[in-house]
Structure 1
Amino acid sequence: MRSSKVNERRKRVLTAIGNMRHQLGLVLGAARNARQDAETTLERLRLEQRIARVGIARADHDESLAAAMHHPLMAGLRDQFKATQAAFHAEAATVPARLRELIAQAAPGPASRPPTDWLGRIGTGALTVPPLWRIGSSTMDETGPFPVSVPLLDESHLAITSAPKTRATVDALVEGILLRVLSSMEPGAVRIHLWDIGQLTAVLPNLYPLSRTSAITVYDPTRLEDLFDDLAGHIRRIHTQTMQAGHTSLRSMRESLGQRTEPWRIAVLFGNGENWAPETLRELRRIAGGAVAAGISLIAVDLPTVLGGGVENIRLLDEKHAMTSMTGPDLVVSLDPPIPATEVSGAAARLAEALIERQGGPRTFNDLLPTEFGQESSAAELRAPVGFFEGDPVEVVIGDATPHVLIGGPSGSGKTNFLYALIGSLAARYPPDELALYLLDFKEGVSFAGLAPGRRDKSWLPQARLIGVNVNTDREFGLALLKFLADELRRRSAAAKEHEVTDLAGLRRQDPGGHWPRIVAVIDEFQYLFAGRDTVTGAATALLEDIARRGRAQGIHLILASQDIAGIDAFWGKPAVFEQCTLRIAMPKARRVLAETNNAAIAAPKWHAVVNHDSGVAHGNQLAHIPDASNREIFSTLQRKLWDLYAEEHQRPRLFDGAVSPLLDHVAAYATLSPGGRARALLGQAIDVDDKACAVELASAPGRNVAVLGTAIAEALSIMDASARSLARQYHPDEVEFVVCCLVDRCAPAVDQLVEVLKAEGHWVVRMTEDDIAERMTKIAGEAVGHTRILLLYGVDAALPALEAKLPGEIKSGLDHFRTVLKLGPSRGVHTIGWWRGTARLKDTLGFAGTDDIGAWAALDVQGSELTGFAAGQVVHWSPRPGRALFFDRSTHMTPEVMIPFDRPEF
């Protein structure tokens, strides 16, 4: 039993071992077969590599390769290669045709066509440029040559490496590319910069007919930094513009706007293989890295560096052949034959003539104007062309980025003409609800007077709110304008805070019903504001700095113009205003308007201006030809059109002419006077933005008397006359009594005329003489009447001897009674308006009682130092000026103000 079990176990073990041996045999057999297959595959691949190296055609004639291909294990390999060869040739046969089709699409017209089709023809405007430009051709097989083109504008740079004795070929290659570009674009759309380290002038000489235009600029070989400065400045300016507009490149902004805003630029640099300083190479690479986005392409010939950004390489093999990175190392490019030099020069001359014709075509003031007036919104900024460069308009932009403008130019340089071009261009685009102009001219002249209604032309510029002319001696008027702007700035800031916004655009969105136009204040010869070392200069400087800093956010902009910026001493050490004037306009020969190192204005031709939106830095220069805009007939045509559009809805501007004394009858304050209310004596015209009069309220309060001080007879008579006539309009005939005394014989005719006027209006007039003045003062001081009594005393100081004399038996003199009238009279309805010919004589009249009884005064030819005692003890800065008076009313004034006595006509 036990033996049978052992035998059964042994049998199972042997069976398992047999099965294992069988499986191992199968595995080993499969491994041998796999190895044989792998070895066969490897041998096949090795044979394929050998055949691929020599080609199937040569392999058929190689005995070892032919024998190997006929081995049974390599069956079908020869047929596979033949089929692949046939497919390749079939595919390759279509490549040249497809390349020709691609080039025709990517490089239309002069970009790829033979020169005979386009040489010397004038290109047309295009928003986009061809991405490829032909340089030659290459051949792949018997199907024929195909064109070879390279990228350039808006695409990449070109790096050309010459071979020995190929300079003429390089010049021809570059000339051909440049002529293709120039002939594809409209005149002025491309500018070329040439620099050759080894040549002073003969850089691509066949193109020199274009050098008399701005199409080509040749740089001194020793001044490479000039070219770098121009390119770097252009890149910074373009990048600033594009980033502010929300774009990453000039091409992107151009396509978004649908118009070309800047010309393309090509800079050709011949390095001749010479070594450069490391810093120069780093600067070149920095420029190359940002150039393409700014519309600049470099053509670098034999430069010892690798350019940054996209670069296409062309390496010459000899005078006719080259290799390019576009076609790779296996294809040789046959360069196009050079265009004959005479044909290049002739084509360049025709292109130059076309550009000159385009630049020199009729460009008038009307070309600055839009086809439809008043269609623009000023919510974001003000934008208007002021001139032309090469036929293209040159704009000024006044907004958050360039809030204020500084204009400079010597006499005769065209500064006034530029201001008219700017004002007219803005007014044509922005209606009065969008733009408010405040125009002030300090020099002796009437530059802006024509913008207000006149005797011959009743029209006015509707956008103008204020026009001030001939104010060279009235610096206070400039200060009044700055105070007005400061008040408006506070008003707008408060409104912006209320609506929780930070700028004018936001305020207009949140308050669409409000009236928030952009304000532009033009101050010509503004340096007169700071001509003296006095309170006017101090106040004007502080206000101007504040407005310059904060005005941009609230849409208040300054345009400051001057012949001589160097004469403004008040701003040295206080650069706040100039720093905020980021828009600089330099007329020919202007100095210190642009940056210190920017001398562009020195060489600017007549009737031109350098427009710079970058604080005067050289890279921001834009030269503009300014058309004739200041001619009265030219500008008045625009003014009448705008007047017809807007005059019914907008008031005429306030005209302040410092050379003209206003008539009392023409003053708004006088016209509105009528009986009733508190009477006010009008003394003269206030020097203010608003049409206001200087007035003294004759209330029943101590000190409500008026003194006129000085020996200027005409002005004194004017003030006395205006006071009486204005008061007469405010009383019915039975409500007022005028007591008149003239003690200056020269004034008697004028006083007689005034008396006749008062009587003609039905008023009660009493005359006093020197003989009875003491007696009448005694009576006036002692009696009470039921009406107002106005004492009009001319030359009071002449009556002092008569007043000082005491009558027999009297304790008090007439002067004592007069002093009582001055002290107590106002509370009883008795007011004195007197003329004293000196402050000392007024003090003698007042005695030891002080000056409180004279609550208001107007000083004429009296020095400020004499007025301290009458101005609450404060120091008075005043030097007499013809036709002006210093006015102070202690009840309303903190400091005296200058006023203009009315013109007193002969009746």
Structure 2
Amino acid sequence: MGRKAAQQRTRVTNALDALRQQIGLTLGAARNAHQAAEDELLRLRLEQLVVSVGLERAADDSRVAEYRADPGMQAVLAWLDSVRSRFYADWADGPQRLRQLVASAAPGPAGRPAGEWLGRLGALDAGDPPELWRIGSATVDGTSVGKPAGTTLTFDVAVPLLEESHLSITSVPRSRPTVDALVEALLMRVLSTFAPGAVKVHLWDVGQLTAVLPNFYALSRTSAVTVHDPTRLVDLLDELAGHIRRIHSHTLQSGHPSLRAMRAATGKRGEPWRVAVLYGNGEDLAPEHLRDLRRVASGALAAGISLILVDVPTVLGGSVETISLLDDRRAVTSMTGSEVVVDLDPPLPAGQVAGAAARLAEAIVTRQGGPRSFHDLLPTEFGREHSARELRAPVGFHEGEPVEIVIGDATPHALIGGPSGSGKTNLLYALLGSLAARYTPDELALYLLDFKEGVSFAGLAPGKKDESWLPHARLVGVNVNTDREFGLALLRFLSDEMRRRSAVAKEFEVTNIAELREQDPHGHWPRIVAVIDEFQYLFAERDSVTAMATALLEDLARRGRSQGIHLVLASQDIAGIEAFWGKPAVFEQCTLRVAMPKARRVLAEANQAAVAAPRWHAVVNHESGVAHGNQLAHIPDASGRDTFPSLQRELWQRYANHGHPRLFDGAVAPRLDRSTAFASLGPEPDRPRALVGQAIEVADNAHSVELSAAPGRNLAVLGTNRPEALSVLDAAARSLALQCEAGAVEFVLGCAVESCLPEVRALSERLATAGHKVTTATGDEIPALVADLADRLPGSTTATFVLLYGVDAALPALEKKEPARASGLDHLRAVLKQGPVRGLHVLGWWRGVARLKDTLGFGGTEDIGAWVALDVQGNELAPFCAGQVVHWSPRPGRALFFDRSTHASPEVTIPFHPPEAADA
């Protein structure tokens, strides 16, 4: 046992010795690591100290001297000395290289002394802008690079701007004049580098309403410099954000990520450079303003917009360089580091800056060319553009550059608004003339409708004084303020054309007009532009016309673009169109908005640009009226005497073979002998048609009654309006006479109204001259005439048309009845009921609905198959209209026509010019 215990004790002792040895090794390693860490920390502190003090001053610094007593730090100091030596060896020609760099990256006014460029106009327009812009110079001790003691080396200091970087400036107390001089010099360098008008400067100062950089006052009268309301920073940020969205959309559509890339690829810029200077007061902006500012800064450089922020504490998105003032002459910049103090350039002479600004402003005005005329809108060569993809036409000018209206898939329909006298009609003429000069009638078809009481478009159709017309016009409608049905007819026509084009597009397996024209090059597919002035009249009443017009307009607005059908809706005020309340489909599709001065509710609600627009100007907006899409345009005089007519005559001579437009003038009664429907009549002995009035349709059609051998094929004219009643019967007789061979038909004219006898005799002579047999009877002769007609019925073989004038006036005579004999009224009822199937038709005028009922008797309404109501209220007509409610109120020069064999409901017709005036 003793031996075994001794062995165990020995093993334990050995293990403890081994443990002590390992612990000693570990503690030694820890001490070594701790010492190494302390040494490393000491070295890092030394390096940090040397860097903060500066390599140049480290040798004389007392804090660095404390480390020299430590042998372990000697290596660090030696290494730092070697770094210093290598740095200054490399820096020996640094100032010279910097001067060369600035000279290369900041050519001309961007970097040269002011005496070489101040007051001269720049020329750069679309080329690459300078990368750097001089602000001052910096000086270093030359002894560090082997120069003699006391030698200093100076180099230029410049900062990036425009597409390169934003700039943030921080001031010190009482340094505002220095900041203004710095900003003014930078802006003047930029403005003097580029061609006049190629740079737009925006100034905003939280503390000043005006007098921001007052030396630029002359430029503030042009668009080169805009001073913004200090209380409305949101407006400036919204405007810049709008420019960024618009430019970004345009460049992406062109396949380029930025304006710089687009310029490099195309050699064109298409947008001015913009510099926005924001003066703060060192306090944080409102959170919402900071958010918007950062959002603008992140996308601005790609859109050619740069920001200069003065005392606006924020961290911007995108590239930003800083300038921090030390006093009223010195600053440090992020370009040179905190160790290099920059001596800012002295202020530019105030008088010379003001003079240069005035000269630049004059150059901008000169470049605009002064007031432009309508002829400046026209191309040098007519008819060279193609409308397959879109329509483009300048309508005005802004700073000498044309402002275009674009109508196509992106902006399919237009809304134009402006109060009376604001120049809306003049704008429409500028648009029509500009379009017509660029596109041939095969590329563009115009349908023009003016609801207000006037003849704005009348001169575009042939007239008595000027036989020319606008060849592109297919329809010209004027004075249609009371003919809402004509507006509805136009919408129906456009809807039918849209469906026709859609059907053909499906046959060719295409989806839009551009593809259809490619697949069907021999087809006739012009873009259609329908201009409806004062379109709100379409929806003036709560009736079926408004309901149908609303539905058609919404459908056209949604689907018309793909088929090349575009609406231009113009109005003095759209605020009261109840038909569209809750139905924004039409206005949403009108992405092109044009607001005349003082126009309301045309642009977006927050966009008040039209309120401040000067006279003879318009705000053109292709972005649904939001503010960033605004383009202010001066509209030249297009409606002055002989201005538009001279263009029209030139186009007419060039394209006259395209035919003249249909003119619908609501204030003029149509003439029968000029009616296309009347002129096209030919022999039709079995089913002749009696024309009763002009149809309110796009085509030059007439309403007619077919007098076939069928029951009820008689016509009643109702009302007390004598001239219009005579007109209806005159047109019916003359149109029937054209369709029947001479001698093959008999006209019987019975006049119970003495005042109508001259017109009835004139018609009788006209019919007789055409070779037709004519029988006439007056007052007391009518009962015998009717009895004779009734006696003819059983064996009638000759077509007979009986025209009775004022039947109700003959009723007393017709009602007389002798014993055992039928009365004249009985004979008339028999003629009405049995006559049509035997070729005898009555066309009669009754001066009241009740008198017609008395004539027909119980159940006789079926014997009147068609009627024309003149000054008769609609509620009286229900018995003759299958019992349906008739919404009709009489109006001058219009009548209501119904033919139960063809109509589901009555239609408005226009009686032809009274016969006595036509004969005269």
Displacement after TM superposition at 1:360 (Å): 6.4
Q: Distance in 2 between matches of 1:54 and 1:871?
A: 108
Alignment match, 2:880: 870
Larger deviation, residues 349-358 vs 114-123? 349-358
Q: Distance in 2 between matches of 1:769 and 1:171?
A: 101
Aligned residues: 845
The answer for unaligned runs of 5 or more in structure 2 is: 1-46, 61-74
Q: Is the 8 A contact 2:752 2:782 kept in 1?
A: no
For 1:14-25, list aligned pairs within 5 A.
none
Structure 1 residue 652 and structure 2 residue 660: aligned?
Answer: yes
Alignment match, 1:691: 700
> 2:448 is matched by which residue type in structure 1?
L
For 1:816-835, list aligned pairs within 5 A.
816-835=826-845
Q: Distance in 1 between matches of 2:645 and 2:102?
A: 56
Alignment match, 1:32: none
The answer for unaligned runs of 5 or more in structure 1 is: 1-48, 60-73
Q: 1:192 to 1:81 in 2, by over 3 A?
A: closer
Alignment match, 2:26: none
Alignment match, 1:444: 453
> 2:679 is matched by which residue type in structure 1?
A
Alignment match, 1:380: 389
Per-residue Cα deviation, 1:716-775 (whole angstroms, up to 9, x for no partner): 111111111111111111211111111111110011111111111111101123333333
Per-residue Cα deviation, 1:28-65 (whole angstroms, up to 9, x for no partner): xxxxxxxxxxxxxxxxxxxxx9x99989xx99xxxxxx
Alignment match, 1:70: none
Per-residue Cα deviation, 1:245-297 (whole angstroms, up to 9, x for no partner): 44333344455554443322111112232233444322221111111122211
User: Which of 731, 734, 743 is the matching residue for 1:734?
Assistant: 743
SS of the aligned residue for 2:122 comes to: coil
Per-residue Cα deviation, 1:128-180 (whole angstroms, up to 9, x for no partner): 32232222234575796443332211222111233454332221111111001
Q: Distance in 1 between matches of 2:566 and 2:174?
A: 62
Q: Distance in 2 between matches of 1:54 and 1:836?
A: 117
Displacement after TM superposition at 1:525 (Å): 0.7
Structure 1 residue 421 and structure 2 residue 430: aligned?
Answer: yes
> 2:889 is matched by which residue type in structure 1?
S
Alignment match, 1:21: none
Q: 1:470 to 1:401 in 2, by over 3 A?
A: same
Displacement after TM superposition at 1:115 (Å): 1.4
For 1:593-608, list aligned pairs within 5 A.
593-608=602-617
Structure 1 residue 106 and structure 2 residue 105: aligned?
Answer: yes
> 1:109 is matched by which residue type in structure 2?
G
User: Which of 647, 652, 676 is the matching residue for 1:668?
Assistant: 676
Alignment match, 2:650: 641
User: Which of 787, 799, 809 is the matching residue for 1:788?
Assistant: 799
Identity level (%) = 69
For 1:58-69, list aligned pairs within 5 A.
none
> 2:874 is matched by which residue type in structure 1?
G
Structure 1 residue 349 and structure 2 residue 358: aligned?
Answer: yes
Q: Distance in 2 between matches of 1:279 and 1:87?
A: 47
Q: Distance in 2 between matches of 1:808 and 1:590?
A: 78
Alignment match, 1:798: 809
Q: 1:809 to 1:198 in 2, by over 3 A?
A: closer
User: Which of 774, 786, 789 is the matching residue for 2:783?
Assistant: 774
User: Which of 874, 880, 897 is the matching residue for 2:890?
Assistant: 880
> 2:867 is matched by which residue type in structure 1?
W
Structure 1 residue 815 and structure 2 residue 814: aligned?
Answer: no
Structure 1 residue 202 and structure 2 residue 201: aligned?
Answer: no
Q: Distance in 2 between matches of 1:273 and 1:190?
A: 28
Displacement after TM superposition at 1:100 (Å): 4.5
Q: Is the 8 A contact 2:125 2:198 kept in 1?
A: no
Displacement after TM superposition at 1:487 (Å): 0.8
Displacement after TM superposition at 1:244 (Å): 3.9
Structure 1 residue 431 and structure 2 residue 440: aligned?
Answer: yes
Alignment match, 1:456: 465
Per-residue Cα deviation, 1:858-893 (whole angstroms, up to 9, x for no partner): 111111111111112211111111111111111111
Alignment match, 2:117: 118
SS of the aligned residue for 1:643 comes to: helix
Alignment match, 2:864: 854
Larger deviation, residues 715-724 vs 586-595? 586-595
> 2:121 is matched by which residue type in structure 1?
I
Alignment match, 2:911: 901
For 1:194-593, list aligned pairs within 5 A.
194-256=203-265, 258-329=267-338, 331-359=340-368, 361-593=370-602
Alignment match, 1:137: 137
SS of the aligned residue for 1:819 comes to: helix
- Tell me the TM-score normalized by structure 2: 0.87
Q: Distance in 1 between matches of 2:635 and 2:353?
A: 34
Displacement after TM superposition at 1:125 (Å): 5.2
Q: Distance in 1 between matches of 2:263 and 2:891?
A: 58
Displacement after TM superposition at 1:465 (Å): 0.8
Alignment match, 2:44: none
Q: Is the 8 A contact 2:450 2:478 kept in 1?
A: yes
Structure 1 residue 160 and structure 2 residue 169: aligned?
Answer: yes
> 2:659 is matched by which residue type in structure 1?
Q
Q: 1:253 to 1:795 in 2, by over 3 A?
A: farther
Q: Is the 8 A contact 2:215 2:353 kept in 1?
A: yes
Q: Distance in 2 between matches of 1:236 and 1:521?
A: 31
Q: Distance in 2 between matches of 1:862 and 1:623?
A: 52
> 1:863 is matched by which residue type in structure 2?
Q
> 1:877 is matched by which residue type in structure 2?
H
Q: Distance in 2 between matches of 1:752 and 1:54?
A: 124
SS of the aligned residue for 2:650 comes to: helix
Alignment match, 2:763: 754
SS of the aligned residue for 1:159 comes to: strand
Larger deviation, residues 584-593 vs 122-131? 122-131
Larger deviation, residues 244-253 vs 331-340? 244-253
Alignment match, 2:28: none
SS of the aligned residue for 1:729 comes to: helix
Per-residue Cα deviation, 1:669-700 (whole angstroms, up to 9, x for no partner): 11121224631111111111001111111111
Q: Distance in 2 between matches of 1:627 and 1:252?
A: 35
Superposed structure 1 runs of 4+ greater than 6 Å apart: 51-55, 84-88
Larger deviation, residues 652-661 vs 783-792? 783-792
Q: Is the 8 A contact 2:707 2:841 kept in 1?
A: yes
> 1:593 is matched by which residue type in structure 2?
V
Q: Distance in 1 between matches of 2:136 and 2:375?
A: 48
SS of the aligned residue for 2:306 comes to: strand
Q: Distance in 1 between matches of 2:497 and 2:272?
A: 41
Q: Is the 8 A contact 1:410 1:564 kept in 2?
A: yes
Q: Distance in 2 between matches of 1:787 and 1:898?
A: 33
> 2:399 is matched by which residue type in structure 1?
E
Per-residue Cα deviation, 1:390-412 (whole angstroms, up to 9, x for no partner): 22221222222222111111111
User: Which of 616, 619, 631 is the matching residue for 1:610?
Assistant: 619
Alignment match, 1:9: none
Displacement after TM superposition at 1:585 (Å): 1.4
Q: 1:54 to 1:717 in 2, by over 3 A?
A: closer
Q: Distance in 2 between matches of 1:458 and 1:119?
A: 60
Q: Is the 8 A contact 1:673 1:726 kept in 2?
A: yes
Displacement after TM superposition at 1:644 (Å): 2.2
> 2:119 is matched by which residue type in structure 1?
G
Q: Is the 8 A contact 1:127 1:255 kept in 2?
A: no
Q: CA RMSD in A?
A: 3.1
Q: Distance in 2 between matches of 1:314 and 1:508?
A: 59
Q: Distance in 2 between matches of 1:604 and 1:842?
A: 62
SS of the aligned residue for 1:343 comes to: helix
